[in-house]
A and B are shown apart, each in its own frame.
Chain A
Amino acid sequence: MAEFVGAFAASHAPLIARDWHLLSPARRDEITAAYRELGRRMTVARPDVIVELSPDHWTNFFLDNLPSVCIGVGETHDGPPEPFMKAFPYQPAAGHPALAQHILATALAEDFEPSVSHRLKLDHGFCIPLWRMELSHLPPLVPIIINDLEPPMLSVRRCLAWGKLLARAIEGFPEKNLRVAILATGGLSHSIGEPDMGAIDEAFDRDCIDAFAKGAEEPLVAFLGQRMAAAGNGTHEVRNWVIAHAAAGSRGFQLIDYRAVPEVYVGCGFAAWQS
């Protein structure tokens, strides 16, 4: 059977790529160090496949077809279409159709209803962490899009269920010794295209990190239910962290780094769950 070897999470922001040259050297060093540490831990986990959870920033989907969850089952996924992501080094990115189809089949068998894509475009949400983690090579990906941008979105409780489902699906995949990691991208607090655009809710971020560290699911559900929506529309991406958290058994959360980075409009968090 396959082995679930670790869950990881990292923020993303277009300006980490587009305006990288405008950040101060000290700020670049801070962000680089956090992504590198995440990459180091991912490398230690030696995944053969990464299941990556990210929102779709109006890249693959539009209002006429907006899935809550979409599993990328293709052999190949296209690199980011954004001009500022032109230098992303892994494009196109290899998929892992067998594991992706297994996750899809497991989901359907357990009464989940994901959408499916045989060729996704991976936007900056998927690609910035993969790029900045500086992995020596990129393992095949199973990209899973979570709708964090436009209502209706998954409930936090449903995200927990998805995380547990992913863990079961990975551990039930009948390929001996296949090592599988989960990488959630997005969050923490940020506001995009709203009157408070650029605002970072550091109090929310600290409390959110604390809720993950404590681990318990019901308090996490209650906390996010009370505070997530008010912390900015981009904060909905914390759903992806919740899925990773549940996949890891809702325990073992370790903060790698947190910094409010107003230059990129995002409360930037980096984390790993001990497997």
Chain B
Amino acid sequence: MTDYWLSKLFFDLQTPGAAAEYRADRNSVLARYTLAPEVKAALLADDVAFLARRVNPYLLRYYFGAAGMTDDVFRAKLRASKAEAVHG
């Protein structure tokens, strides 16, 4: 399932200025997008597994980079999401 507005947020955050604003004040930026409450909660919790099911993987990577997560942490969370899916 593709979440258009979540994808749009991630797309827009490729602009360095927008990413800086997001890192400084996530809530203000999120208020501009039509996001379901559970999606917003996942964004605020850096829930990689939840978000990964709703966006293109490239956009997912851009987003977490823009949000300030290192590749190592991001990859570890991705691996954990796979393990979670396998083991329930």
Contact = CB atoms under 8 A, between A and B. Distances in A.
B57 A58 contact: no
Given A63-B7, A192-B61, A149 B75 contact: no
B22 to A, nearest CB: 15
Which one of B16, B58, B79, B82 has the greatest number of beta carbons of chain A within 10 Å?
B58
B11 interface: yes
Contacts of A81: 14
Interface string A175-216: 000000000000000001111111000000000000000000
Given A58-B11, A63-B4, A149 B58 contact: yes
Contacts of A30: none
A233 B16 contact: no
A150 B4 CA distance: 13
A197 B75 CA distance: 6
A193 B75 CA distance: 8
A149 B14 CA distance: 16
Please tell me the size bucket of the interface on A. Answer: 10 to 19
Given A63-B7, A192-B58, A197-B61, A83 B16 contact: yes
Nearest to B57: A193
B30 to A, nearest CB: 18
Contacts of A58: 11, 14, 56, 58-59, 62
B34 to A, nearest CB: 14
Interface in A42-75: 57-59, 62-63
Contact of A62 (B11, B60, B79): B11
Interface string B34-64: 0000000000000000001000111111100
B56 A150 contact: yes
Contact of A193 (B8, B14, B59): B59
Given A193-B78, A194-B78, A62 B61 contact: no
B71 to A, nearest CB: 8
A17 to B, nearest CB: 14
B28 interface: no
A235 to B, nearest CB: 12
B79 A195 contact: yes
A192 B75 CA distance: 10
A125 B75 CA distance: 22
Interface in B6-33: 7-8, 11, 14, 16
Given A58-B14, A149-B58, A233-B57, A193 B4 contact: no
Contacts of B11: 58, 62
Interface of B: 2, 4, 7-8, 11, 14, 16, 52, 56-62, 74-75, 78-79, 81-82
24 contacts: A57-B58, A58-B59, A58-B62, A62-B8, A63-B4, A63-B7, A149-B58, A150-B56, A192-B57, A192-B61, A193-B56, A193-B57, A193-B58, A193-B59, A193-B60, A193-B78, A194-B57, A195-B79, A195-B82, A196-B82, A197-B61, A197-B74, A197-B78, A233-B57
